[in-house]
C-alpha cells in the first residue's frame, strides 16, 4: 500500500529537528510500515492547506506519484491555526532580503517580536483563515478525484502546541478545527484526532523543545493510529495503485 502524504513540518520534524523523509521513526513511515507499504512525503515547513493545493497543482513529482497512490493523506491544517502577526507574504518574504546580514537581522527581529505580537493581538490573524482551510482541502480532494475517482483520503484534526515562539497562544485553533470537521463531514473524509494523541506529550515537555513538534512517542502514536484509521476506512492492499 502506498500513502501519499501532503503535510507540514509535523510530518518530518523529530524531537531534535528536521529529518530525511524516509526516517523510519516519522509517523508517515510508522503508518506505512504498519500497513505493509510505504509513504511518499511531499511537505514543507509551515505548510498550510493552501500549500498542499499548490503542490497538487504545481509539483510534477506529485503528478507522477498519484497514479501509484492507494491512499491520500491530507496532513495539513495544523499550521493554518497559528498566530501570524505579519501577513504571510511579508513573513515569507524575509528569506528574499539581501544582503545576508540584513536578512538575518530581520529574521531575528521578527522571531523576537512574534511572541509579543501573538499575545497582543490575541492570536489573530492566523496563518490561513478557517474558511480558506476548508476551501483548499475541498479543492484538493476534488482535484485528486478528478484524476483518481474514488481514491480513499483521510485527514487530521489540527494539532495543539505549547510553543514559546507564539507565547503559547493558540486561540485560532478552535475555529480551524471546526472548518476541518465541516469539510470532512461534507466530503466523507475520516479524521485522525491528533490532539488526543499528542496533547499530554507536549504538555509534559516530552516533545521537541520548541513546544510544537513531536517526540518519538507521539510519532509512534500518530503513525499507529493513522494506520488503524486507514484500515477502519476499509482501505486495503489491492486498492487501485497496487502494493
pLDDT in tens, 221-234: 999 999 999 988 75
Query: Into how many domains does the chain fold?
Result: 1
Domain that holds residue 79: 2-83+122-232
Measured N-to-C along each axis, helices 216-232 and 194-203 cross at an angle, to the nearest 10 degrees, of 170
Q: Is 142 helix (H, G, I), strand (E, B) or coil?
A: helix
User: Cα separation of 221 and 215, whole Å?
Assistant: 10
pLDDT of residue 76: 98
Q: Which of 55-59, 86-90, 173-177 has the lowest mean pLDDT?
A: 86-90
Grid cell at residue 140: 484538493
pLDDT > 70? residue 240: no
Cell of residue 211, nine digits: 513546544
Q: Confirm whether 15 is domain-assigned.
A: yes
Return d(Cα 219, Cα 216) in angstroms, integer. 5
Q: Is 115 part of any domain?
A: no
Let me know if residue 183 belongs to a domain.
yes
Domain contains 106: no
Assign residue 169 the CATH number of its domain.
3.40.50.1110
The whole-number pLDDT of residue 64 equals 97
Is 228 part of any domain? Answer: yes
Q: How confident is the model at residue 13 (pLDDT cuts 50, 70, 90)?
A: very high
pLDDT, tens digit (0-9, with 9 covering 90-100), for 148-179:
999 999 999 999 999 999 999 999 999 999 99
Q: Is residue 240 assigned to a domain? A: no
What confidence score (pLDDT) does residue 174 get?
A: 97
Dihedral class, residue 211 (left if φ above 0, else alpha if ψ from -120 to 50, else beta): left
Contacts of 27 (CB under 8 A, 6+ apart): 10, 11, 214, 218, 219, 220, 222, 223, 226
Quick one: which of 12, 112, 127 has its CA closest to 78?
Answer: 127
Residue 237 has pLDDT above 60, yes or no: no
Whether residue 100 is contained in a domain is answered as: no
pLDDT for residue 86: 87
Tell me how far apart the alpha carbons of residues 154 and 226 are, in angstroms, rounded to a whole number.
Answer: 9
pTM: 0.93
Let me know how long the chain is. 243
Residue 160 included in any domain: yes
Mean pLDDT to the nearest integer, 198-217: 96
Amino acid at each position: 500500500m502506498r500513502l501519499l502524504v501532503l503535510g507540514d513540518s509535523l510530518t518530518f520534524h523529530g524531537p531534535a529537528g528536521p529529518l530525511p523523509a524516509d526516517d523510519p521513526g516519522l509517523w508517515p513511515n510508522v503508518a506505512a510500515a504498519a500497513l505493509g507499504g510505504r509513504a511518499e512525503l511531499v511537505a514543507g515547513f509551515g505548510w498550510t492547506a493552501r500549500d498542499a493545493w499548490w503542490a497538487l497543482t504545481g509539483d510534477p513529482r506529485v503528478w507522477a506519484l498519484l497514479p501509484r497512490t492507494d491512499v491520500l493523506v491530507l496532513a495539513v491544517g495544523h499550521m493554518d491555526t497559528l498566530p501570524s502577526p505579519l501577513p504571510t507574504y511579508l513573513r515569507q518574504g524575509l528569506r528574499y532580503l539581501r544582503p545576508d546580514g540584513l536578512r538575518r537581522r530581520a529574521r531575528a527581529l521578527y522571531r523576537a517580536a512574534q511572541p509579543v505580537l501573538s499575545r497582543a493581538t490575541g492570536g489573530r490573524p492566523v496563518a490561513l483563515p478557517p474558511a480558506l482551510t476548508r476551501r483548499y482541502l475541498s479543492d484538493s480532494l476534488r482535484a485528486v478525484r478528478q484524476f483518481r475517482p474514488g481514491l480513499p483520503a483521510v485527514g487530521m484534526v489540527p494539532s495543539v502546541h505549547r510553543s514559546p515562539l507564539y507565547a503559547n497562544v493558540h486561540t485560532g485553533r478552535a475555529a480551524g478545527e471546526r472548518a476541518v470537521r465541516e469539510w470532512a463531514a461534507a466530503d466523507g473524509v475520516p479524521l485522525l484526532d491528533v490532539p488526543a494523541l499528542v496533547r499530554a506529550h507536549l504538555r509534559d515537555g516530552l516533545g521537541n523543545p520548541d513546544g510544537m513538534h513531536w517526540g518519538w512517542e507521539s510519532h509512534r502514536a500518530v503513525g499507529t493510529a493513522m494506520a488503524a484509521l486507514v484500515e477502519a476506512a476499509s482501505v486495503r492492499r489491492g486498492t487501485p495503485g497496487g502494493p
